[in-house]
Amino acid sequence: MAIKIGITGGIGSGKSVVSRLLEVMGIPVYISDIESKRLTVSDSLIRRELIALLGEDIYTDGELNKTLLASYIFGNPEHIRTVNGIIHPRVRDDFHQWVKRYDAYPIVGMESAILIEAGFAGEVDAVIMVYAPEEIRIARAMQRDTAPRELVERRVRSQMSDEDKRIQADFVIVNDGETPLIPQVLELITSLSKNIAYLCPPKK
């Protein structure tokens, strides 16, 4: 049975870079953002529940009407919880199936910006937080998304704070542009491999 690790971090932290490094080193990673978008279109249960909630217009030409969805959830935590309650359980089920396909691997990963908030931390054996100072994160996100600073700052504020993430993380990888990433990832893999019996005890 594989050790399951969760990779998380705020916007601009570089969690996707860490995930790619892990994949290069032979560790498959489930990218929950990509898979949730796929499921939102392909999963019949999600489609049915979103249509019941928002009407037929939530899908246009078979694709998700992102503008309509965004207008529904924008600034309304209760609406966000409702939509997440439709999508997250299906992502969790899909991750379980994905893990079974990669059972021969000693370590597999799940990347999610909201790993802890969505309850996915309970699906993994160890939580890995990718950390970068807030100013660096904002600059990266502005450049990556060609977005104004105000919008990026609003997105940063809407996410769980780094302090809260650190409390719940088992490992922290620093991605500040100065601290080398590869040695940290190698150290993580070594530590996980040494503690496989503790993190993932055999089923009785």
Structure tokens at 48: 């049915």
Q: Tell me, yes or no, whether 201 lies in a domain.
A: no
Average the pLDDT over 47-62 and give the result. Answer: 95
Average the pLDDT over 2-15 and give the result. Answer: 93
Residue 7 carries which DSSP code? E
pLDDT of residue 200: 55
Q: What is the pTM of this model?
A: 0.89
- CA distance between the termini of the chain: 13
SS3 201: coil
Average the pLDDT over 93-120 and give the result. Answer: 94
Average the pLDDT over 59-63 and give the result. Answer: 92
* pLDDT beyond 80 at 51: yes
Looking up residue 14, the CATH number of its domain turns out to be 3.40.50.300
Q: Tell me, yes or no, whether 200 lies in a domain.
A: no
One domain, residues 70 and 144? no
pLDDT of residue 155: 84
Annotated binding site for ATP: 12-17
14 pLDDT band, cuts 50/70/90, is: very high
Q: Tell me, yes or no, whether 156 lies in a domain.
A: yes
Half-sphere exposure of 23 (CA within 13 A, CB side): 13
Q: Tell me, yes or no, whether 202 lies in a domain.
A: no
Least confident stretch, 4-8, 29-33, 86-90, 149-153: 149-153
One domain, residues 21 and 116? yes
* pLDDT beyond 80 at 187: yes
Question: Of the residues 103, 137, 163, which one is the last residue of a structural domain?
Answer: 103
Task: Identify each DSSP E strand in the chain by its residue range.
Answer: 3-8, 29-31, 59-60, 63-64, 107-111, 126-131, 171-174
Question: Of the residues 85, 103, 121, which one is the last residue of a structural domain?
Answer: 103
**Across the strands, what pairs with 6?**
110, 127
Tell how far CA 75 is from the center of its chain. Answer: 21
One domain, residues 158 and 60? no
One domain, residues 12 and 39? no
SS3 63: strand
One domain, residues 189 and 174? yes
One domain, residues 187 and 150? yes
- Based on the structure, what is the number of domains in the chain? 2
pLDDT of residue 201: 53
One domain, residues 12 and 37? no
CA distance 101 to 138: 37
Q: Tell me, yes or no, whether 1 lies in a domain.
A: yes
Question: Of the residues 82, 103, 124, which one is the last residue of a structural domain?
Answer: 103
The CA–CA distances, whole Å, from 14 to 43, 137, 148 equal 29, 8, 19
Q: Tell me, yes or no, whether 84 lies in a domain.
A: yes
Average the pLDDT over 62-70 and give the result. Answer: 92
Annotated binding site: 12-17
| 26 Ramachandran zone, left/alpha/beta (phi>0; psi -120 to 50) | left
Mention every residue, 6+ apart, whose C-beta is less than 8 A from residue 92.
119, 120, 123
Structural domain of residue 119, as residue ranges?
1-27+106-195
Tell how far CA 153 is from the center of its chain. Answer: 19
Q: What does DSSP say about strands 59-60 and 63-64: parallel, antiparallel, or unpaired?
A: antiparallel
Residue written as token pair 């491999």: 193
pLDDT of residue 138: 94
193 pLDDT band, cuts 50/70/90, is: confident
Average the pLDDT over 162-191 and give the result. Answer: 94
